[in-house]
Structure formats: structure tokens, C-alpha cells
Amino acid sequence: MIAEIISIGNELLNGNTVNSNATFIAKSLHENGVSVNFSQTVRDDAFAIKSALQLALQRAEIVLITGGLGPTHDDITKVAVSEYFDRKLIFREDIYQKMRKMFERRGIPMPEINRSQAYVPENAEVMNNPVGTAPGLIFRRGGRYAFVMPGVPREMTAMLKDSVIPLLRKECPDCRVAVNIFRTTGIAESAIYEKIEKELKSFSSYEIAFLPRFTGVDLRVIRTASDMDDQEKFDRFRSVLSRHIAVYIYSEDETELEEVLGRLLSERQETVAVAESLTGGLIQDKITNISGSSAYYMGGVVAYSNEAKERLLMVKENTLENHGAVSKEVAAEMAQGIQKQFQTDLGISTTGIAGPTGATATKPIGLVYIGVAYHSKVKTRRFQFGTDREINKQRAAQAALELARQVILEINS
Amino acid sequence: MIAEIISIGNELLNGNTVNSNATFIAKSLHENGVSVNFSQTVRDDAFAIKSALQLALQRAEIVLITGGLGPTHDDITKVAVSEYFDRKLIFREDIYQKMRKMFERRGIPMPEINRSQAYVPENAEVMNNPVGTAPGLIFRRGGRYAFVMPGVPREMTAMLKDSVIPLLRKECPDCRVAVNIFRTTGIAESAIYEKIEKELKSFSSYEIAFLPRFTGVDLRVIRTASDMDDQEKFDRFRSVLSRHIAVYIYSEDETELEEVLGRLLSERQETVAVAESLTGGLIQDKITNISGSSAYYMGGVVAYSNEAKERLLMVKENTLENHGAVSKEVAAEMAQGIQKQFQTDLGISTTGIAGPTGATATKPIGLVYIGVAYHSKVKTRRFQFGTDREINKQRAAQAALELARQVILEINS
């Protein structure tokens, strides 16, 4: 099954808004066995919308349209698409009442302007909008579909998930695929490939993609209908990963590392505190993005100055003098110091040179030491990252969370 | 002048990569007086690329193509576009030597596969790639241009800035525009609009856009050639903003608030420390993203627990008992405590309920108190944000940086 995406909105073509909608739709369709061959972005202009739709219906069986369903005068998508399909717009009392109720629940009067959103094409199939006022629309012609969805990402994603995907699944049972994502960190894309390359040959019917991020490489495996019920084969595939890269895989369900670490601590009813230097609060920001983190995360210190490292983290003056602030010895004392300061099971520390300035004769930009103290154990690790400040912070934060995971699970990588 | 963008790459249509390139190109062109009417995304497929190019050349004078210039077998953009324009590819020794030197500087041998990147269309105009190996290409036909650029964002943005934009400026002197961005925080889009709506009528030839972000609203003003030299008119416009929203404007050059605050502190040779509760390290992460922040940022504490607030921030047990951790009294003591702990001129604090859980009978989700201690002054402010955890953290961080700016500059909003 072939699909095409049409994104509508001047803000997209003036560069004010990144078109994350198109990416989300493409990803959802791809992970449901539907290929997207083209994606078009057009202005809020009836002629442009109709031309794009005509072209899309020539080369795709399914057209997904987003944007321009709002109540203001520049939202013309519904009118343009209805004209293209020769459908009159009619007022639907049921939709109008549903909108009124939505405003009532929010405790604000419904603006008169929203009334226009209760007009839909006659005999239209309407898709429910669980989080907004604009209903979605389905048009069918000659075995082809056009789905019209709002441009507000929250509304579009809900409608895609609740209405579009289930309908496509029903229309095309053979499109059914299974998607597995193995998240890795601490190993380069090319290194993963080298390790498993030969054994991948037995899995040529799997679509295997290496998706690099600053914090690691995601391995995405898509199995089509002919393969997905062969559990024995997939078990063999997993054992290939197990043999070669098990220690680098921290999640198999798109969970981020900070959440994986949080789950480990929750299971053990243990706690963590963090001492950051070059990462400057980023690790704790990530940890506290997880709802419920207050159960295991006690707090921490950002110690940019040596003085703060001594006073709040009990790093010895001697250690700083003999080894410098960027050293494995200081990383170790920082991790133990924060563990003691907050009386936690786990202490995590980072020290390094984020760049782009600050290098010394012996300490280049991107040099980072990570420390982990877990009960009475202490472990440190050295990294040499690049020259970009924010990327170095991201990588150091991920490396610190990963070392903590490995120490808790007694993994030796 | 009308432009069209063609983005090439399977990763875009499988939803693996957000097409930030198209947004960046559209923004750059728009801010240089060139309109983008359509944007197409196609697969690494010669037929698709040629079809897209043909269509684009029918409706635009300038076509900007990105992606598929790498050295691997799925990078076919150069071949497809050269075929479309009936140009043979020839080996260019000078490009080859330049690539070799680039690899030499990096200290790695040049892979044989990169040799293919030294082939360019005969009589081609080549655009220099200052940060990568793939050269850019310019094709001209019948007064229309096609620019071919790499898909790696760092390479594309450098080439656009260094080669494409200067050429377009030369070709179209009348496209010249002036762009001003006024960054605001602490005021809603609709409230700005209400305040300045009437006076905007005298500036109908300005293109004025309200661009909302989680942390505030950017006001972007674009003046075309006919307007941009009328300085007196622009001064009148600025005085409208001054009269109505001056206190909310923190920068006029796209600088982020953490950098504005950093500059203020640097000028005064003053220092800052931060005590975070609900923001969980985010404020310090933002501050330390600025290169050179170690000159004024000393460090800070993330105190999730009451115990940490007492021990590290010297918040009184009584205050916590009488007012609760989420209160203006605790925010004030946290700000003073961190100022004292790090001996800084400025102390910033946040306390609140990030959500989505944690509300009490009297303290709803999204309730936030900000505290600022500056020398002997202390100021607090109360906010009621929404229910999204990460957005609440972002808003609270921005509100804290903004209150610090206002206190330093003695602004009363």
C-alpha cells in the first residue's frame, strides 16, 4: 500500500514551524507496513491544495492531509478538499453540540467563529477529534482514500492513532508488521555493523535500520506479515544481538536511559543523587523529566568551581592539586561525596571540558571522566568526545547514566 | 522571486529523520525576501527526483535540492539531476585533491568510495563545501536555477549561507529585506496583540508575525526594500513596542534569555548560583550551554527533598512546616540560601508542582514560586502553569531567568 502526505500551512513554508507532523505520519505508516513515496507541503491556498491532491491521488492509494482545519479565515483546507471531491458542506447539529460541550467543560464560552467547524461535507465520514474541536474527514473515490486531519500535532497524532491506523489495518491486513527497537549506547553504528554483519545474512527478509542519535544508536527491526509469526527465527535474531552487543542494549521498548535507570532503582527501592560539573544540570534535568522520579531521586549539586567541589562534595584539596579537576580521582570522590551528602545508594558524577574553550596542555576539549558510587563500590570511566559543547554535555550525561546502569546490574563492558 | 524546495532521502519518508533542512531553507529564503510556495520530499529514486525537479521548474524560478550527495550507492541525486539537465559527469582532479587534503587534516586515509564525489557535471558551477567532502552544484536553464546541496544539516546550512544566499542577493537586489526579532516572555500572544493592535495599522506594509514558543512569543518584523531605509518609520514602530510591551522584551537579536542574563552579569562582573526544585537542573543546564558561563556561574543545588532544602539551602524547618515547600516563603529562603552557600551576587530559586501527579488540596499541579535574591534584595513571584511536566519545567525556568533579569535591571512589571 502506497501513501502520500500533504502538509498545509504558510507557517511551514515561511520556516516558522518544523514539519514534525509529516515525520510522525511517515513513521507511523512505515511501522504499519504502508510506504510513503512522496510528501508535499503547500500554502493555505485552494488552487495549490487541489493541485497537490490531484497529483497525490494519481500516485498513491492513500492521501493524508494535515493543517488548515482551524476556525479562522485562512483555514481553507476543508472547503478546498470538499470542492475537489464535489461535495457540498452542510451544518451538522451533532458536531456543533459536541463542540459546545467541549468549551463548557473548559469553562469558557464558545466563540461564534468556531461555528464554521460544524460544517462538514454531505454524507461525509467524520473522524472524532478527542482533544480538539475540528473533526477529521474521510473521502473515498475509486478505491482511494483521502484523510483530512488538523495540523495541531496533539490533535493529529490522536486522530491518526484512533481512526486512521485502525482503518488502514482493516483495509490491508497483509500490511501488518512487527516493529522492535533496540536502543544502544556506547558503541558506534559501524562497530555494531561489523559485529553482526555476517550473521545478518540469515535475516535478509527483516528490514533492519541503524538510527543514530547523539546519545547512541537505535536498531530498528521491522518484520512483515510473512515473517512476524516465526517466533523461532526472531529468537535466533535476538540471540545474535545477545552474543555480540548485549551490554550496549539498554532498552527494547523505546524507553530512554533515565527511565530505565529509574525503574531499576524503583524495583530495588534505592535512591540516587548526582554531582555534575561539565554536564551542568543536564543529568538531573533528564532524571526529573520522568514523572514519579521524586521517589528515588533525592537531588544533587552542580559544582563548576573547585571550591564547590571541596565544600559540597568533599573532594580533597590534595586530589584537586595532584590530579586536576578533570581526572578519574576527582570523578570518584565527587560520586562518593554526593552519595554521602544525600545519603543515597547511588552517586553519579561528571567532570570534564565541555568546550569550545578551556583546554589545557594535558586536558583537551571533550575529555570527560564519569564516576559512579554504588553502596561501597566505586567505578570511573574516561571518554574523549568532540568539540561541540552541547553535544559533549549530551554524551557525557548519557555515558554517566549508562555507567550507573552497568554498575547496578554488574555488567562489565 | 519564487523558490521551491526538494528534499531527497528515504530516511525522511520512513519517518526516521525530521526534515529540519526544509524549515531552515524556507526560513532563510523568507528572511531574504524569497517566497517558497511548495516543498516536495522524495525518495532516493532517479525517476522520482527528475519528476519532482520538472514540476518544481515549472512553478518556481529557483529550486533548492538537498540530500543524496554522499558517496554510497543510494546517493543518486547528482546523477539524476545531471541527467535531467543533460550533463555528463567528469572527474575533477582539483576537487579530488581538496578532499584528500581534508581527510589528511583529520589524520585518516580517504576511503576509495569517496572518489565518486570528485565527479561533477561538465561546465558545472561548483559550490564550496566548507565542512564536508561533497561539493554543491549550480545548474542554470532559461533564467531558472537549481542549487544542489548535501543533506547533512551542518554542510547544507554553511553552503546556503556562503554560496546560495549571496548569489540570490546579487540576482535580485529588490528582494532585499530587513528582519528584526523581538523576543518576549511573560505575556501571551493575544495580550501583545491587544496592546498594539490599533497602532499596528500605520505599519501595514510591515510583515509582522507572532511566533509562539513554550518560553515566550517572538515578534518577527520583516520590512521589504521599499520600507527598510525609512529609519524614522521604524523608530516609530519601536516606540510603539516600547510604550506597550518594553518590559517583556528581553532581546532584539535572537539571543536566548540565559545568554542575556550572562551578559548582564559579565558586564557587572557579578556571579550567580541556582537552587532548583521542580525545574530539576534545567536552569543550570541552560546557563551552562553558554560558552564562557564559568566566568559568572558558580554552581548550584537541586533540592527535591525538604531535607535537602534545609541542609544545603538553609531553609528553616519552621518555614517548610508553616507554608509548605511550594510557597513564596520557601522560594525566598532558597534564593537567599544558595546566594550565601556560593557567596554570589545573585541567587535564583524555583519550587513548585511539575505534575502530572503530586497535587494537594491547596497546591494544584502547575503552581510555581520563583525566588530571586540580588545583593540584599529579595523578590518572589507566583505562577499557575498547566499540567504538562516538561512544559511546566520549561516555563518555570524561563520565568526564573526573567525575574532575575528584571531584578538586576530594576524593571517593575
- The model's pLDDT over B350-388, given as tens digits with 9 standing for 90+, comes to 999 999 988 988 999 999 999 999 999 999 999 999 889
Same domain, B202 and B164: no
Tell me the chain B residues in contact with residue A152 when contact means C-beta distances shorter than 8 Å.
Answer: none
The answer to whether the CB of B16 falls within 8 A of the CB of A27 is: yes
Report the pLDDT value the prediction gives residue B190, as an integer from 0 to 100.
84
Closest residue in A to B387 (Cα) is A291
The CA distance from B245 to B234, in Å, is 16
Phi first, then psi: give them for residue B148, nearest 5 degrees: -115, 120
Same domain, B327 and B231: no
Same domain, B182 and B145: no
Residue ending a domain, choose from A122, A147, A175: A175
CATH of the domain at B321: 3.90.950.20
Report the pLDDT value the prediction gives residue B111, as an integer from 0 to 100.
83
Most distant pair of Cα atoms in chain B: their distance: 82
User: Does the residue A413 lie in any domain?
Assistant: no
Neighbour-count burial of B96, counting CB atoms closer than 10 A to its CB (0-12 exposed, 13-18 middle, 19+ buried): middle
Q: Counting one residue from A and one from B, how many pairs have CB atoms under 8 Å apart?
A: 216
Where is average pLDDT lowest: A121-125, B4-8, B402-406? Answer: A121-125
Neighbour-count burial of B3, counting CB atoms closer than 10 A to its CB (0-12 exposed, 13-18 middle, 19+ buried): buried
Provide the pLDDT confidence category of residue B412 given band limits of 50, 70 and 90: confident
Same domain, B151 and B202: no
3-state secondary structure of A7: strand
Same domain, B189 and B168: no
Report the pLDDT value the prediction gives residue A112, as an integer from 0 to 100.
84
Q: Chain B closest CA to A291's CA: distance in Å? A: 7
pLDDT greater than 80 at residue B192: yes
Report the pLDDT value the prediction gives residue B275, as an integer from 0 to 100.
98
Same domain, A284 and A229: no
Tell me the chain A residues in contact with residue B291 when contact means C-beta distances shorter than 8 Å.
Answer: 355-357, 389
Report the pLDDT value the prediction gives residue A114, as an integer from 0 to 100.
87
Pairing of strands A346-352, B125-127: unpaired
Q: Chain A closest CA to B115's CA: distance in Å? A: 20
For the segment A383-411, the average pLDDT, to the nearest whole number, is 96
**Interface residue of A16, A62, A357 to substitute, partner B, most B CBs within 10 Å:** A16
Where is average pLDDT lowest: B60-64, B169-173, B284-288? Answer: B169-173
CATH of the domain at B112: 3.40.980.10
pLDDT greater than 80 at residue B394: yes
What is the interface pTM, i.e. ipTM, of the complex? Answer: 0.89
Count of structural domains within chain A: 3
Inspect the interface and report whether the beta carbons of A18 and B20 lie closer than 8 Å: yes
For the segment A240-259, the average pLDDT, to the nearest whole number, is 95
Same domain, B151 and B9: yes
Same domain, B284 and B397: yes
Inspect the interface and report whether the beta carbons of B40 and A36 lie closer than 8 Å: no
Percentage of chain A with pLDDT > 70? 100
Report the pLDDT value the prediction gives residue A402, as an integer from 0 to 100.
97
Closest residue in A to B10 (Cα) is A37
Residue ending a domain, choose from A251, A284, A313: A251
* Domain span at B313: 257-408
The CA distance from B98 to B104, in Å, is 10
